[in-house]
Structure 1
């Protein structure tokens, strides 16, 4: 018999029972459900809602069930719909009528709300730890490539010289924001809905502060109606994961381009590449491509949650049963992507010579040429026009700014002198960009130290 069967005169149709059941996916909440029930039973006993010996019996029964679940000795039933009813039913079958007292002053609404929050609270530090591991890889790659000059791009056109280290720190800063977003999400969701009941608490003298403290929450939620109908924490969490995956996808796109023959800026390790079934020369960046593809799954989870919640009146509605699968899938996807992505980046080989060669083309020192003239006293707009004419001249003659004869420079402007060639050297161009946040080695070293401090503060 179902735990809610008293009002009903008919058995639930088998198809409806299957449709209504969530045990196939919410079974992973068993630890959180038992933790919540133990905290609730402890509070009921302390408050005199049930006898202390009954609370102790319930707690011992729940602890035994937890041990048996983890040993694979408990089989969940579709008939009991969800993890909450499965555990309560198992408890009652083991300890008798005392088990029926557990649900006093509680609803499945606040029960599932606390279970779900506990689960997300548990997973956020796991994901943050994985991001920090990737940050360490980026620091390592940056430190090894401080002087590795490469072209920076806008519109996927060569734009200005930068370094591979500067590039790595760009992604390190994106990931830093991902960490702080998850930390912010964790802080906002650190409130316990247990004790809110179905929506209006109860007439029993429950102590919500006690259960909140027992479960590791900062405080109980402030409004019982909001407590059971709120899924902002899940939406915010999947939003943070979506932004994280967007960053990984952008990085993946760079790597896919860089390891192509057209770029050949990096080479992926064989262990993180695949081949072709027909073309023996191929070395495919499948890890990066899969990360890029799996980003869509996480986006889908966010859109699912937003769509589920957009039209729901207060308080709980059965639609909200659909909230867990997208969150679980987003967690699983992110936790699968991060370690393999970090390992791929850690093992790739940077092709310094190829990057240097690419940087020598495309006139990426044109801005530096204009700055040279500005430092000689010309207005920037005039300098810009002069360098534009020089670039046009180089394109017609097959020269670069580095190889253009001095007489040709001086035919356009008498401000040019022999020192222009030193000013146009790529290492000079990069080294001169010492502005905070720029690609000069000393500036990048500062960026690296900031990321190291950020990581160390969270891993001590």
Structure 2
């Protein structure tokens, strides 16, 4: 009989058991369920709701169960539905009546909400560590190749020359904000639901402040209905994972493009590429492609939970059990993607000569010419038009911008001087952007040093 079966005259149909069980996936919550139960038992004894002897037996029994699970000696039972019932039933089997006292003043509603917050708190820290490692890999790569110039892109068209390290640092900043979001969300995760009961609290003199301190929660959820009826902590965490996945996907897309024969900007290690079952010559950037592809999977889990929660009346409904599988898969997906991308970056090597050749197209310095005019008194919009006319003239006559004579340039830009002919140099262009946030080598070196120190 189920632990809640006292009111029922028939056993649960086996189809219902198979349909409604969650032990096949929520078993990963076991260390957090045991952690919460131990704190709850200590509180019950402290409040003289159960004896100290029973509390000690409960804690010791839970420690034994934890050891068994971690040793692979614990048989999970589908008929007991979930991780909470599996542990409680085994505890009672081992220590007798004392185990039946553990659930005093508690519902699975506030129990699972507590387990999930303990779990999310832990996984937040794991994700933060993984993001930090990815940031460090990007900074290390930029530090190893500080002077490589490449074309920057807008609309996937050549735009202006930038340092390769500057491009990498853009992702370091993005992943830094991802870490900030996780840290900010962790504050809201770190609020205790336990003590809310099924919906309305308890008539017993529970000490929620003691439990919060035992479990390291910095706040207590103030409304019992909110504590058991919402999953916004999970939704916010999934939102953070979705943004992380989006940033990973953009980095992966850059790598896929750079690795193509058309770009040929980078090389990747053989250990992080794959071949073709038919074409012997192929070397494919599958890690980056899979990282890009898995982003949609993470988005899907976020949308699934939002959709599950959107129509639920307060408070707990069994629909909420569907919060876990997508969450677990999203966490697993993001963490393995972060780890694999980090390892792959250690094998990435730029091809400076190829990047420099692409960045040396004089059209990339058209803005430098417009800004030269601005420095010499021409209003920017007029400078933009003049340089645009010059670009059009060169295109019409099959000339690169640096192949035009001064006289030809002056047909479109009357105030041009011989100095303008010297602007079509990628190195000079990069060095000229020497302001905070710019791509000048001095600025990029400062940013690399900043991140090296921050990531220590």
Fold equivalence (TM over 0.5)? yes
What's 1:210 paired with?
Answer: 210
Distance in 2 separating the partners of 1:415 and 1:236: 57
What's 1:314 paired with?
Answer: 314
> What is the total number of aligned residue pairs between the two structures?
456
Q: Alpha-carbon deviations, 1:27-50, whole Å to 9, x = none?
A: 111111111110000000111000
Q: Name the CA shift for 1:54/1:143 in 2 (closer, same or farther; >3 Å).
A: same
Three-state SS of the structure 2 residue aligned to 1:44 is: helix
Q: CA deviation at 1:143?
A: 1.8
Q: Alpha-carbon deviations, 1:210-235, whole Å to 9, x = none?
A: 11111111122111111111211100
Distance in 2 separating the partners of 1:12 and 1:418: 90
Q: CA deviation at 1:441?
A: 1.1
What's 1:97 paired with?
Answer: 97
What's 1:425 paired with?
Answer: 425
Distance in 2 separating the partners of 1:394 and 1:346: 42
Q: Is the 8 A contact 2:368 2:423 kept in 1?
A: yes
What's 1:168 paired with?
Answer: 168
Three-state SS of the structure 2 residue aligned to 1:278 is: coil
Q: Alpha-carbon deviations, 1:278-297, whole Å to 9, x = none?
A: 22221111000000011111
Q: CA deviation at 1:389?
A: 1.9
Distance in 1 separating the partners of 2:411 and 2:300: 59
Distance in 1 separating the partners of 2:413 and 2:238: 57
Distance in 2 separating the partners of 1:93 and 1:345: 51
Is residue 2:400 matched to residue 1:390? no
Q: Alpha-carbon deviations, 1:375-411, whole Å to 9, x = none?
A: 2222222222221122122223332222322232233
The two structures, once aligned, show a CA RMSD in angstroms of 1.2
What's 1:38 paired with?
Answer: 38
* Structure 1: gaps (5+ residues): none
Distance in 2 separating the partners of 1:452 and 1:229: 43
Q: Alpha-carbon deviations, 1:405-434, whole Å to 9, x = none?
A: 223223333422222233221111111111
Is residue 2:146 matched to residue 1:146? yes
What's 1:232 paired with?
Answer: 232
Three-state SS of the structure 1 residue aligned to 2:15 is: helix
TM-score, normalized by length of structure 2? 0.98
What's 2:336 paired with?
Answer: 336
Is residue 2:70 matched to residue 1:70? yes
Q: Is the 8 A contact 2:362 2:402 kept in 1?
A: no
What's 2:286 paired with?
Answer: 286
What's 1:242 paired with?
Answer: 242
What's 1:451 paired with?
Answer: 451
Q: Is the 8 A contact 2:42 2:55 kept in 1?
A: yes
Within 5 Å, which residues of 2 pair with 1:77-226?
A: 77-226=77-226
Within 5 Å, which residues of 2 pair with 1:373-412?
A: 373-412=373-412
Q: Is the 8 A contact 1:402 1:425 kept in 2?
A: no
* Structure 2: gaps (5+ residues): none
Distance in 1 separating the partners of 2:362 and 2:344: 29
What's 1:4 paired with?
Answer: 4
Distance in 2 separating the partners of 1:97 and 1:432: 78
Distance in 2 separating the partners of 1:267 and 1:356: 15
Q: Alpha-carbon deviations, 1:226-270, whole Å to 9, x = none?
A: 111121110000000000000000111111111101111111111
Q: Is the 8 A contact 2:241 2:334 kept in 1?
A: yes
Q: Is the 8 A contact 1:193 1:224 kept in 2?
A: yes
Q: CA deviation at 1:89?
A: 0.3
